Structure 1
Amino acid sequence: MPDGGADCTRDTLQELSETVTAPSAALPDRLSHLLAPFAPHDALVILTADVDGGHQRGAGDESFVRGVSYLDLDDRRRAIRPGSTQRDELDVAGRTVQILLAVSRNGAVLVLAGARPDAHGEATVLDLWNIVSLRIQELADHAPPDYLRHARYSSGERMEALAELGAEYSTTLETVLASLRSSRLDNGAARQAATAIATEGLVHLRTASDRARTATEEPVTTAFDRLRDDLRPLMRYRDIDVQFVDPPVDGRPLPSEVAHGARAVVRGAILVMIDDPDVSRVRAQWDCDGTNLIIGLRDDGDGALSSDSSRLRLITDRVHALRGRIDVDMTPGWGTEISVVVPLDPPHAGGMRPTTWSLGERENDVLARIASGAHNREIAADLGISENTVKFHIANLYRKMGVSNRAEATATYLSEMRFA
């Protein structure tokens, strides 16, 4: 007859199995039920990149779930290392709540409200969360790439709305300040107090705007470290040497959907490469030129990777969903090289569709060559026009497309041509 400990272990494994096989929408409730024996709690909130594009979701006390600030969670996530827990407090809906914060090895955030487990329970919560967060990541990696495209456009809309709102309130506060500083107004003490309040409000507004922007970004080095951690379990039982070339430490932070999508692209590409039994080494490199994330992958196989591979097509779709460009170069006897360029800036919310760009014939010719990677001198020679004329056409098509540089024009063109 099994003892109580064996029964408990069997029940936990059964609960874990039901959690990782649950639909995405049901996962918070299942996870809450799974963790309750080890850390009883009033509410649970998770923040992950998932098939819905990384929405914050929860279970339990609605006032806590709805009242938790994304910015507060992100601040705390950045303060602790992945694969660890921390006890903390959160101010939610006018009350201070004791929480247990767990950040999985892949960076997903779990918050348990009102939980005060012992050391064993805390460690068990982290172990189970590491497993469940991998399942959430897997759901995102294998989902159709439409959610990445939606996340890119949503990011653009959020940033534009934030900029508009910030500009509006900033203008209002600056106008108030200008009026209050006027010597023509009476009651100096009241004017001084109101000036101080308006000044403080302006500082808070600018701080909140900066926090909202940085909360949707991830340092490029952190994103690359998470990729390395993601791949470690995949390589553990394979005789494959994966060499990582780190990005520059001062590289521009990546929007969250770019960081997540890029990791999914690299993981998928490496899995495709090592399916070739002749591959023993893969090199993965990230770089950042301030405008784009540049990814390079190369293996030492026989260069026989099929360009018709369904898994390679999924990777290509993900790159296009991020408005990026992918090139696959297969050289028999020398291996396969995959190059990916993903623009960091989200598309404008009001970006024009191809039918409304109204490009002239020559502008379309120039755009097609820009998208192929040609420089101005090459475009001029190809079309039999001067470089100054090329620059003139480029300025016009930028204005009509609602973009500001070659990378945006290329990404927009390729994305629209792929999904039109």
Structure 2
Amino acid sequence: MTQDPTQDPHELPAPADRRHASQHARSVSELADRQAVTLETILAALRSPRLGDREARETATGIAAAALVEARSSARQGADLLEPVTGAFGRLKAELRPLVRHGRVEVEFVEPPPNGRALPGDVAQAARAIVRSAVLIVVDSSEARRVRIHWDCDGLHLLIHLRDDGAGELRAHDDALRPIAEHLSALGGRMEVESTRGWGTEISIAVPLDPAPAALPLEDLAELSPREAEVLQHLARGSRNAEIAGELGISDHTVKFHISKLLRKTGTRNRAELIALLR
């Protein structure tokens, strides 16, 4: 690709370019997850001791054909459409059913309440991608034999709970969970991982159903309290919470409280985004 001669090679990409690149990366990641599930399912069918050679080939062909139909159907669906939470969960079960049928990992599905809020299309797609990634993590684990998938809705968030019976060694910052963390970062969600050695891992996820509020222009400081403005100035200088607390004579907890309010008012998701916006 030919570089624009008028563009400074050291100039950072514009925010719109970064958002476009991030969305593209997430789309590629979701496609890779979907393909990985399909290939894992085909391999499980071909290796299944319960199927003869001919039946295994026919089953694998059927799985590939169904995945192709699903891919074409997904391409026609807009991310702005709403999906009933039970319908979105049903699509997830349909996507994983062949892997469950022919794989060695038993999957238990716990249905969401039928009266839960409809999910925005991007939330429904991300939720299925998150669960697919988690199931692949379990499949890749030689110890896990069972995983429980539970969706719920509190009116503001889609709540996803996954529990396996593996070795219990997974941690929130492990590379295996990076695709899930990237999906959640894009949607402003959060994840907690609790592992007990020898007993398995439980992953709890909350995905907001409403978009984040519009960012507050930083020049409009009238909506910030004097203390928030002070904390903001210290953040701009790169000060840590303890340093801010010492300078302002307040507790670390109070600093965290003011930072959380700044995140909400500026529409940023974390401290790094807030500092990047300031600079």
| Alignment TM-score, normalising by the size of structure 1 | 0.39
Letter in 2 for 1:351: A
Kindly report which structure 2 residues correspond to 1:186-335, keeping only aligned pairs within 5 A, or say none: 216-305=81-170, 309-335=174-200
Change in 2 beyond 3 A, CA 1:316/1:132: same
Listed as ranges, the gaps of 5+ residues in structure 1 are: 1-49, 53-126, 140-150, 156-215, 365-379, 403-408
Structure with the greater alpha carbon radius of gyration: 1
- In structure 2, distance between residues paired with 1:254 and 1:266: 15
Question: Is the 1:285–1:297 contact (alpha carbons within 8 Å) kept by the matching residues of 2?
Answer: yes
- In structure 1, distance between residues paired with 2:231 and 2:124: 36
Q: 1:340 aligns with which of 183, 187, 205?
A: 205
Residue equivalent to 1:130:
66
- In structure 2, distance between residues paired with 1:399 and 1:316: 20
TM-superposed CA distance for 1:297, in Å, is 0.4
Residue equivalent to 1:413:
270
**1:351 equivalenced with 2:211 (yes/no):** no
| CA displacement, residues 276-319 of structure 1 (integer Å, 9 cap, x when unaligned) | 12211111111111111111000011112365653321121111
| CA displacement, residues 104-132 of structure 1 (integer Å, 9 cap, x when unaligned) | xxxxxxxxxxxxxxxxxxxxxxx997342
Change in 2 beyond 3 A, CA 1:130/1:355: farther
Residues matched between the structures, number: 195
Question: Is the 1:324–1:414 contact (alpha carbons within 8 Å) kept by the matching residues of 2?
Answer: no
- In structure 2, distance between residues paired with 1:250 and 1:330: 32
Question: Is the 1:287–1:294 contact (alpha carbons within 8 Å) kept by the matching residues of 2?
Answer: yes
Listed as ranges, the gaps of 5+ residues in structure 2 are: 1-25, 29-62, 234-249
- In structure 2, distance between residues paired with 1:51 and 1:400: 29
Change in 2 beyond 3 A, CA 1:353/1:242: farther
| Alignment TM-score, normalising by the size of structure 2 | 0.56
TM-superposed CA distance for 1:238, in Å, is 1.4
Kindly report which structure 2 residues correspond to 1:387-406, keeping only aligned pairs within 5 A, or say none: 397=262, 400-401=265-266
CA RMSD of aligned residues (A): 4.2
- In structure 2, distance between residues paired with 1:259 and 1:296: 15
